[in-house]
Amino acid sequence: MKLGIIVVYLVNENTRLILQEHLRRIERHTKTIDYTIYGTIIRTPEPLIAQLRIGSHPNMKLYDFASDTANRAGTVVHPDAREHGSYLDKLTGLAFADGCSHICTMDMDSFPVRDDWFHVMSEQSAASSSGVVAVFRAENGDTDLTHPCGLLMPITFYEKFSPVFIPPDSFFSSDEFIKYRMETGQRPDTGVGISEIIHRQCLNWTRLKRTNINNDDILFAGIYGDLIFHFGSTSRNIKYNGADLMNDRLIRTINWIGENLMYFRPGSLLDRLRAWQRDRIGQRKTQAITKIFEAYFSDPDRYLSYLRGNGDFSRFIKQHK
């Protein structure tokens, strides 16, 4: 078997440590399988691109693609997600053409955390009818999304169905997708092109669910299937996301009032109350993310052990500040 690890890299000064840890973890935990990282670098300052090329992973192949500005167009999914999906499609095709038996997509801020991660995922792949194994983020409101921060696909699935990570906008108004959405409730996002095929073909896929015992955030710093760690969406400056809003009692109450008792008129008391609460949620989110990064990089192995339920890491941090 040969594994292709597929990654789209978007690097800035704030994410360099994450990039280094991503590459270090892949090398540390992927010693028993022939593998190559197939990557491309997008929207990154030229000096950082040069540094990444000079200090890149020994098993890495970096590709330069023409600008995908046109592929970012559309209204159904976020332009960044569409761009990300289009590059994943290109790199996946290159990896399979290069002789890979499996590809595993990862985000720049996700990586394996066990030496046997690929062997466990390949066994799960062989046991499912589609062969696809992927992170499943129910905590983000997903109901059927094969998330690309940790998605394993065998060449048999690729050759049979020619999947894409995000179909064109026109597909989302088709009878096929409308039926899929009604039956699963899954919204469009990167990876939905794969999960929709699996559902339409009456196949199944293995879901790597969040296995954290300890959580410092509802979505960030997750371990999935006890195999893949994902920091979260570090490429965008996010104040809050759907998971934060869905789980905030005041926001849910405000939304219910706005939907059932009165309209959200711009500038109204209800509208201003919702904006105020969202700002508070955003402040808490920024603080939580900052603490997660500080905690992780103070002692990565110990922090991962803490997430798995071993020990009280918060006390350890206080003792070593």
Q: What is the pLDDT of residue 269?
A: 74
**For residue 46, what pLDDT is reported?**
72
Residue 260 pLDDT: 62
- For residue 273, the model assigns a pLDDT of 75
> At how many degrees (to 10) do helices 269-298 and 300-307 cross?
120
Q: Which pLDDT value is given to residue 317?
A: 47
Is the full-model pTM beyond 0.75? yes
**What is the mean pLDDT for each group of 10 consecutive residues in the chain (321 residues)?**
94 81 94 94 74 70 75 72 92 98 96 97 97 95 96 98 94 94 94 97 98 91 97 62 66 68 68 74 76 91 94 52 36
* Four-residue CA torsion sign, 210, 212, 218, 220: negative
Report how far residue 67's alpha carbon sits from residue 86's, in angstroms, rounded to the nearest whole number: 11
Cβ distance 32 to 122 under 8 Å? no
Sheet holding 147-154, edge to edge: 60-63, 34-41, 2-9, 102-106, 147-154, 133-135, 206-208
How many C-alpha atoms does 139 have within 13 Å on its Cβ side? 17
Per-residue pLDDT, 264 = 64
The confidence score (pLDDT) of residue 194 equals 98
Tell me the backbone φ, ψ of residue 41, rounded to 5 degrees: -110, 125
Q: Which of 187, 163, 173, 181 is nearest to 246 (CA)?
A: 187
Cα–Cα distance between 163 and 119 in angstroms, integer? 23
